[in-house]
């Protein structure tokens, strides 16, 4: 009985995923490097360029996508059998753990099989419809959820987000190696929180010693998609729930996000 249920879900996943052009997993080997911000920004930019885009946040322990997109506390509508993703803006819809979990700050204590079940549900029981892109924000690391996801979703490509310092460099090479063994196509590495111009003195401030992302990409033999500078506006956009690259298109970090996305779109 249980197996029949899982098989049915798996065939629903197949049907759903066949209606989506490109599936992109955004991952990192460590938290706090800006993975969710990059995922939200890519999804926002894609939608603004007319691409029908779904955004799926499967970071069960630290879901931030509902907040980043200004949709905190808004659950997807459901007829008891299927769920409809929450509309964010034209061409962009969202399913986030955050909108299902109720009060922010409540920790989730779920064992592996439960997490897997939710993941399956998000892929099988959501009416994603016909999409050009599905952008998936994975939890940090190379644990169960990203692994299961990679196995469940056909034709997945992944982008690894990192900061520039040495440990992040090693971490991102590890993430790339993880993807290569599954195997999942690695679309490239984005370095985030790179050097930025000081608003007071105009000098360059390099918080995380820029350059690690490019070195990691070279070392791992995957494309380098670019460096996104640190920007305090990105931080406050996240808090306000506005989509940063659409709200501040002329900021250097927004331009860098656009350029990274263009490189990714060109590399097929």
State the residues that interact with ligand ADP by CB under 6 A. 28, 31-37, 64, 192-193, 228, 230-231, 234-235, 238, 253
Quote the least distance from Cβ 78 to ligand ADP, whole Å. Answer: 26
Q: Measured from the CB atom, is 12 or 170 closer to ligand ADP?
A: 170
Cα 187 from Cα 174, distance rounded (Å): 15
Backbone region of residue 50 per phi and psi (left: phi > 0; alpha: psi in -120 to 50; beta: other values): left
Whose CA is closest to 212, among 179, 144, 251, 164?
164
Least distance CB 229 / ligand ADP (angstroms): 6
Question: With respect to ligand ADP, which residue has the nearer C-beta, 16 or 53?
Answer: 53
Distance CA 28, CA 137 (A): 10
Name the minimum Å distance from CB 96 to ligand ADP. Answer: 12
Tokens 């986030």 sit on residue:
96
Q: Which residue, 13 or 231, is less far from ligand ADP as judged by CB? A: 231
User: Which residues, in sequence order, are bridge partners of residue 55?
Assistant: 94, 135
What's the farthest any 2 CA atoms get from each other in the chain? 67
Residue 11 beta carbon to ligand ADP: minimum distance, rounded to whole angstroms = 32
**Closest by Cα among 26, 90, 36 to 63:** 36
Of the two residues 128 and 230, which places its CB atom closer to ligand ADP in the complex? 230
Complex with ligand ADP: residue 36 or 53, whichever CB lies closer:
36
Nearest distance from C-beta of residue 174 to ligand ADP, angstroms: 15
Other C-beta atoms lying within 10 Å of the C-beta of residue 184: 23
CB of 67 to ligand ADP, least distance (A): 9
Chain residue whose CB lies nearest ligand ADP: 34
Strands 53-57 and 185-194: unpaired
Nearer to ligand ADP by C-beta: 83 or 136? 136
In the complex, what is the shortest distance from the CB of residue 4 to ligand ADP, in angstroms, rounded to a whole number?
36
List the one residue out of 11, 103, 126, 110 whose CA is nearest residue 57: 126
Nearest to 231 by CA among 248, 211, 253, 209: 253
CB of 46 or CB of 83, closer to ligand ADP: 46
């Amino acid at each position: 009985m249980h197996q029949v249920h899982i098989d049915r879900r798996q065939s629903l996943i197949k049907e759903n995923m066949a209606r989506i052009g490109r599936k992109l997993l955004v991952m990192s080997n460590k938290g706090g490097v800006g993975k969710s911000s990059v995922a939200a920004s890519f999804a926002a930019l894609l939608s603004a360029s007319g691409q029908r885009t779904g955004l799926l946040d499967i970071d069960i322990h630290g879901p931030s996508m509902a907040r980043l997109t200004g949709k905190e506390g808004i659950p997807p509508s459901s007829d008891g059998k299927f769920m409809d993703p929450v509309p964010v803006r034209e061409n962009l819809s969202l399913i986030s753990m955050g909108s299902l979990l109720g009060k922010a700050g409540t920790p989730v204590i779920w064992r592996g099989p439960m997490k897997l079940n939710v993941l399956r549900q998000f892929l099988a029981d959501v009416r994603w419809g016909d999409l050009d892109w599905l952008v998936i924000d994975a939890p940090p690391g190379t644990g169960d959820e990203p692994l299961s996801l990679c196995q469940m979703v056909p034709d997945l490509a992944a982008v690894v987000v990192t900061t520039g310092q040495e440990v992040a460099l090693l971490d991102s090479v590890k993430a790339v190696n993880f993807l290569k063994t599954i195997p999942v196509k690695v679309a490239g590495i984005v370095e985030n929180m790179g050097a930025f111009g000081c608003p007071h003195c105009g000098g360059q401030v390099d918080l995380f010693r820029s350059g690690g992302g490019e070195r990691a990409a070279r070392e791992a033999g995957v494309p380098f998609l670019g460096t996104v500078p640190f920007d305090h506006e990105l931080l406050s956009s996240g808090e306000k729930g506005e989509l940063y690259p659409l709200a501040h298109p002329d900021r250097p970090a927004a331009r860098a996000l656009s350029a990274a996305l263009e490189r990714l779109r060109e590399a097929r």
